[in-house]
Amino acid sequence: MKKYLWGLISLPVAAALVYLDQITKIWAVSELEGKGTIQVLGDFFIYHFARNRGAFLSLGNNLPDFVWYFGMVILPVAALLGFTIYVVMKHPENLKLWVLWILVTAGGAGNLVDRILSGAVVDFMNLGIGPIRSGIFNVADLYIVFAVIFVLFWSPFKKTPKK
């Protein structure tokens, strides 16, 4: 039982993060759709509603439906399942991998819900200074960015010595 403690804790945390992502998207649809650009922190942080059929920076937006479904739904589901099996079977006691699993799973699942239910992801936030801007993103995308930062700074793939 102790071996799978992090997994038991991680599942509801990931589910709560997906829920938070979906709530922010519901808010964005009701409050931002059709309203153009809304400055939050001057020009640095803005709301700008968009539906994105593709992935990062609309990559894959114009793919034929079958290819799009395979690349934007089937492959991400398979990747999340594969990562879950890897963590559960190979490293059930590695807290850093469970933190990474939470972030990747919540981010991936949050956007998968949108793709499966409506065929596009709701995006609504943008950062930048003048002409240098990020793409439009959502809370699930932030989870993925946090996962990348986590890997860069805390390398969950390094083996920790057993006591």
| Residue range of the domain that includes 105 | 2-154
In this model, does residue 1 exceed pLDDT 70? no
Lowest mean pLDDT: which of 10-14, 71-75, 155-159?
155-159
Rounded average pLDDT over 12-35: 98
- Any idea how long the chain is? 163
Considering the domain boundaries, does residue 76 fall inside one? Answer: yes
In a domain, 135, yes or no: yes
Report pLDDT for 160. Answer: 57
Q: Is residue 85 part of a domain?
A: yes
Residues 6 or more apart whose Cβ sits within 8 Å of residue 119? 53
The pTM of the full predicted model, rounded to 2 decimals, is 0.90
Which pLDDT score is estimated for 6?
Answer: 87
| pLDDT, tens digit, 9 for 90 and up, residues 89-118 | 998 999 999 999 999 999 999 999 999 999
Q: How many domains does the chain have?
A: 1
Q: Would 27 be classed as within a structural domain?
A: yes
Residue 162 is predicted with a pLDDT of 60
Q: Which of the four pLDDT bands, split at 50, 70 and 90, describes residue 158?
A: low
Q: Compute the mean pLDDT over every residue in the chain, rounded to the nearest whole number.
A: 93
Active site residues: 123, 141
CA angle 16, 153, 135 (to 5 degrees): 65
